[in-house]
């Protein structure tokens, strides 16, 4: 029997049969893994408290034929304030869903682990604008996974004057003069583009210092989702659908 000790964040937790839960975990050491938490649906289970969204803990797992099984769990942090605030909850859940969808199993992503942990901490401490923190996370996770958007200036001539046109296939922006005729592009104002560029260079704690107008935030959301949609099916996110409902 192969035992594995890992520090992990719970990305997803769903019922499995009458007694168990099936978890998607992002471990610091081994990347994303699926694991069964036996008996975790029972109220008296020792595992029940630690297998919900927004848990960071130290897990002891053993490997079966196809899945890991949680043997022991020590909760490190459970982000209680996120659970009390409906918007923070929806954003936190969306960040976990996005991470779960974008990562492959069997590959370590320590920087993504730290990014998600730090963003959950910011949501928990209610330090930053939740919406900007969500946009920051979207840009950062894509960048960490190798899809870093080029937003410093026109890809062709380097002009920083704006307005710009974003191209998914080129992974960057063009100015009006250099816009390739055959590209399908997303118009991007200089202000929203600068906001995205600033967020990409930040740590989660610094997002609290950023101020943006409602129209810039709306434009950045449209841009990020246009960019994300190129890599992942956006309509499947429950956290995002819920956010649209409470804050259209
Ligand atoms: Zn240009």
Whose tokens are 């600033």? That residue is 198
Q: What per-residue confidence (pLDDT) applies to 199?
A: 96
Number of domains in the chain: 2
Whether residues 140 and 50 share a domain: the answer is no
Q: Which of 174, 218, 179, 172 is nearest to 195 (CA)?
A: 218
Q: Determine the average pLDDT of the residues in 36-46.
A: 82
Q: What is the dihedral of CA 117, 132, 136, 27, to 10 degrees?
A: 20
For 88-107, how does the pLDDT look when each residue is reduced to its tens digit (9 = 90+)?
999 999 999 999 999 999 89
- pLDDT tier, 58 (very low <50, low <70, confident <90, very high otherwise): very high
Three-state secondary structure call for residue 80: helix
Whether residues 52 and 92 share a domain: the answer is no
Whether residues 114 and 154 share a domain: the answer is yes
Q: From the CA of 49, how far away is ligand 1's center (Å)? A: 54
Whether residues 97 and 11 share a domain: the answer is no
Burial of 214 (0-12, 13-18, 19+ CB in 10 A): exposed
Q: Which of 77, 96, 122 is the last residue of a domain?
A: 77
Whether residues 207 and 222 share a domain: the answer is yes
Whose tokens are 């520090």? That residue is 7
Neighbours of 199 (CB within 10 A): 23
Q: Phi and psi (nearest 5°) for 185?
A: -125, 160
Q: Determine the average pLDDT of the residues in 140-154.
A: 95
Whether residues 149 and 65 share a domain: the answer is no
Return residues with CB closer than 5 A to ligand 1 (ion).
154, 156-157, 159, 175, 178
For 163-182, how does the pLDDT look when each residue is reduced to its tens digit (9 = 90+)?
999 999 899 999 999 988 87
Whether residues 118 and 26 share a domain: the answer is no
Mean pLDDT of the chain: 91
Q: From the CA of 56, how far away is ligand 1's center (Å)? A: 46
Q: From the CA of 179, how far away is ligand 1's center (Å)? A: 7
Higher-confidence position of 181 and 114: 114
Whether residues 96 and 182 share a domain: the answer is yes
Whether residues 151 and 177 share a domain: the answer is yes
Q: From the CA of 170, how far away is ligand 1's center (Å)? A: 13
The CATH number of whichever domain residue 165 belongs to comes to: 1.20.1440.120
For residue 68, the enclosing domain spans 2-77
Whether residues 214 and 174 share a domain: the answer is yes
Q: From the CA of 156, how far away is ligand 1's center (Å)? A: 5
Burial of 215 (0-12, 13-18, 19+ CB in 10 A): exposed
Cα–Cα distance, 185 to 169 (Å, whole number): 9
Number of alpha helices (DSSP H) and beta strands (DSSP E) in the chain: 7, 8
Q: Which of 11, 43, 77 is the last residue of a domain?
A: 77
Exposure string of 227-245, with b = 16+ CB inside 10 Å and e = fewer, is bbeeeeebeebebbebbee
Alpha helices (H) along the chain: 80-84, 86-102, 110-125, 130-144, 190-200, 214-229, 238-246
Q: Determine the average pLDDT of the residues in 228-245.
A: 83
Tokens, residue 202? 């930040």
Q: From the CA of 160, how far away is ligand 1's center (Å)? A: 8
Whether residues 72 and 98 share a domain: the answer is no
The CATH number of whichever domain residue 50 belongs to comes to: 2.40.50.140
Q: What per-residue confidence (pLDDT) applies to 101?
A: 94
Whether residues 133 and 240 share a domain: the answer is yes
Whose tokens are 């990020």? That residue is 224
Q: Which of 29, 59, 77 is the last residue of a domain?
A: 77
């Amino acid at each position: 029997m192969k035992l594995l000790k890992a520090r992990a964040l719970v990305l997803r937790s769903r019922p499995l049969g009458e007694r168990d839960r099936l978890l998607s975990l992002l471990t610091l050491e081994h990347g994303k893994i699926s694991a069964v938490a036996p008996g975790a649906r029972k109220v008296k289970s020792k595992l029940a408290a630690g297998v919900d969204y927004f848990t960071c803990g130290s897990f002891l797992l053993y490997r079966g034929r196809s899945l890991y099984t949680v043997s022991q769990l020590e909760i490190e942090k459970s982000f209680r304030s996120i659970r009390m605030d409906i918007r923070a909850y929806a954003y936190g859940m969306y960040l976990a869903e996005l991470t779960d969808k974008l990562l492959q199993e069997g590959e370590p992503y320590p920087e993504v682990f730290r990014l998600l942990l730090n963003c959950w901490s910011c949501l928990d401490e209610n330090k930053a604008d939740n919406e900007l923190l969500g946009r920051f996370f979207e840009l950062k996770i894509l960048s960490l996974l190798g899809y870093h958007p080029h937003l410093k200036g026109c890809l062709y001539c380097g002009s920083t004057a704006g307005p710009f046109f974003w191209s998914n296939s080129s992974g960057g922006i063009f100015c009006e003069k250099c816009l390739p005729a055959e590209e399908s592009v997303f118009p991007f104002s200089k202000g929203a583009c600068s906001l995205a560029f600033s967020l990409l260079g930040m740590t989660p704690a610094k997002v609290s210092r950023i101020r943006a107008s409602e129209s810039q935030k709306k434009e950045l959301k449209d841009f990020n989702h246009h960019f994300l949609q190129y890599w992942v099916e956006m309509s499947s996110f429950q956290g995002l659908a819920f956010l649209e409902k409470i804050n259209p």
